[in-house]
Structures are given as structure tokens and as C-alpha cells.
Amino acid sequence: MKAIVYTEYGSPDVLHLAEVAKPAPKDNEVLIRVHATPVNFGDLMARNFKNVTPRKFNMPIFFWLPSRMAFGWRKPKKNVLGSEFAGVVAAVGAQVTRFKPGDEVFGYRGANMGAYAEYVCLPENGMLALKPANMTFEEAAAVPYGALTALSLLKKVNLQPGQKVLINGASGGIGAAAVQLAKHYGAEVTGVCSTPRVGFVKALGADKVIDYTQEDFTRNGESYDVIFDILGKSSFGRGKKSLKPKGVYLFASFKVKQLAQMLWTKIAGGPKAICALSSEKPEDLAYIKGLIEAGQYKVIVDKRYRMEQAAEAHRYAEARQKYGSVIIAVG
């Protein structure tokens, strides 16, 4: 089968199309013919991991080390990127009962990657679900990473209807999902992004959008029940005055400093800092599918590329010009 392969870390030019062995499903696995896979934050980072120093890594050093070991120290151990996909079931293992050939599905392989390929295998009880009926393969492929991560992290703060939430990094993979999920929970949502993506975040349903190049949300006099910082670009020290007395500062990206703030605020009372790791579950994907089919969650596809244009797709995503998802159409 064809796959987009990389054998060296580096610029988008390390990506090239190659013939690799087609996987065969085990008894409990489903073989999927991939139709679309997006370029997300994890793909860009993994492609260039050798140059992601502990300082550039948005997590504590004790996460960086095992991640580098897992992905490969000098050269990538996993040669095919792609954590999420949508496609059609091509074959099933002998014990599979939930899926059959011809089913349209979408799924998430997380750090296992491998979706930049014509075929992938997943256990039937893994992060795999029937594709939402009202989405194209390209749209559905771009759902799992952002939606599952945002859902898992937002569960930590138990959002209530009417609460005010600010999402710092609202135009990215996780943020775009968080805006829509917070709206679904009945919150009043303010999204923060840069000038070109203000319209995009509004189109996702945010009640208000702050352009961080024009306005510092910590100085606008507003106060929020939850501030969800995706990239860790704001600081709890400065931002906590924008929280209500029992407010929560939720970090998707954090360092030791934020972990210490979490510990301290747990003891001291008042506004809390929470550093959370996503722990997705297969039932979460089914839940998201339900939201999509109820018209409460959407994906906006910005650009599409063919497999042989993978380097171009990465260059475009990396240039931070995108409005929504960048998709690689497979096959």
C-alpha cells in the first residue's frame, strides 16, 4: 500500500510517498481503507521532534524524555504520521462483531500514529466509531483529536449552563473543539486567537472573540468561571485576576511551574490552577458523533492536499495561516 513516510526528523521535505506493507487485521481488529487524514499539532511536532528541545516542548521535561524515547531519539521509530482518520472498513478479524466491511468509520490512533496511509488497523473496541452521517470523510477525519482532547479536559471543570468560559487558543485543533463543546454545555464562550482567525472562531459559535494581538484579556475587566489555556501562552499569575473567586484556570499545556501552582492553589483555596492530561475513551467518540448528527458540532475544512503533496500540507499548516482543518486525501 502507499503511505507518507519519513525516516529522518526535519522540515516538511522529509515526507515522501512510499510503498509499505499493508497491515493485516488480527482477530479482534478492523482493517480500514483510509479516505482522509488531517495535519494536526502532533504530526507537525513528531515530524520535527529532534528539534523540539525541552524548552520548546509545551510539557514538563519528565514528559519530554519518554516522548523522545518513544518516538525515536535520532531517527523516528514510527515512520508514518497521522493520528486521526476517516475511511471505510475493508475487512474484519474473526472475532469482530461491531463493524462489517463497507461501514464508514472515523477514528483516533493517538501517539500510535500511522494514518497517513491507505490502510490502518484498529481493535474493534478502540477509538473507532461509525462516521457521522452528515459529515464527509474529510470533515470526520478532522474531528477525533481536537474533540476527544477538549472533551476529556473540559470534563475536569464540570462546566455548568450560564458559566463564562474563556478559551485561549480558540482557533486551533483543541480550541475550536472546546468552543463548540462549551457552547453545547450552555456556557457563554469567549475565544482568543489572532486577527486572521477571528471570523473563524465566531463561525464556530463563540459569543465573543478577542484578538490577542490587539487586546490582553487579563486587562479587560471581565471575569470568567473557567479560563482554558490551550498552548500555555498566558500565565496563572497574571490571569487569575480575570477569574471569579471560585474560578478555574485549566492548562492543556503546562510546565513544572503550573504544576506547582496547581498544588499550591489546592492547599490555599481561591481560584484554582488545574493541569490536566487528556484520557480519551471510545464512548467519547460515540458521544461526539451524536453531537455532530444533532448539528451541535462542525468542522471547517480549509485546504485539501493529495498524498504526494503531504510536504506542502505540512508547510501550510506550519505557516499558521490556516482557517480550520488541513486535510490529506488518501488514495
Q: Which residues contact 280 (CB under 8 A, 6 or more apart)?
A: 108, 110, 127, 148, 149, 151, 152
Q: Is residue 230 at the binding interface for ligand NAP, with CB under 6 A as the rule?
A: yes
Per-residue interface string for the shown chain with ligand NAP, residues 295-324, x marking contact by CB under 6 A = -------------------------x----
* Separation of alpha carbons 135 and 35, rounded Å: 13
Residue 33 beta carbon to ligand NAP: minimum distance, rounded to whole angstroms: 26
Pick from 37, 83, 149, 309: which binds ligand NAP (CB under 6 A)?
149
Binding segment for ligand NAP (CB under 6 A), chosen from 16-24, 48-56, 85-93, 225-233, is: 225-233
Name the residue nearer to ligand NAP (CB basis): 96 or 210: 210
User: Which secondary-structure segment (H or E) carries 288?
Assistant: helix 282-293
- Residue 99 contacts residue 122 (beta carbons within 8 Å): no
Q: Is residue 231 at the binding interface for ligand NAP, with CB under 6 A as the rule?
A: yes
In this structure, the number of other CB atoms found within 10 A of the CB of residue 17 comes to: 15
Residue 202 beta carbon to ligand NAP: minimum distance, rounded to whole angstroms: 13
Q: Which of residues 254-273 bind ligand NAP (CB under 6 A)?
A: none
Pick from 69, 277, 286, 294: which binds ligand NAP (CB under 6 A)?
277
Pick from 197, 240, 289, 303: which binds ligand NAP (CB under 6 A)?
197
Per-residue interface string for the shown chain with ligand NAP, residues 198-217, x marking contact by CB under 6 A = --------------x-----
Pick from 169, 239, 271, 324: which binds ligand NAP (CB under 6 A)?
169
Name the residue nearer to ligand NAP (CB basis): 134 or 279: 279
- Please give the grid coordinates belonging to residue 45: 511536532
* Separation of alpha carbons 271 and 313, rounded Å: 41
- Residue 201 contacts residue 193 (beta carbons within 8 Å): yes
- Residue 304 contacts residue 37 (beta carbons within 8 Å): no
Instruction: Sort 133 into a burial class: Cβ within 10 Å, 0-12 / 13-18 / 19+.
Output: exposed
Q: Is residue 173 at the binding interface for ligand NAP, with CB under 6 A as the rule?
A: yes
Q: What sign for the dihedral angle of Cα 134, 136, 141, 147?
A: negative
Q: Which residues bind ligand NAP (CB under 6 A)?
A: 40-41, 58-59, 149, 168-175, 192-194, 197, 212, 230-231, 233, 252-253, 276-278, 320
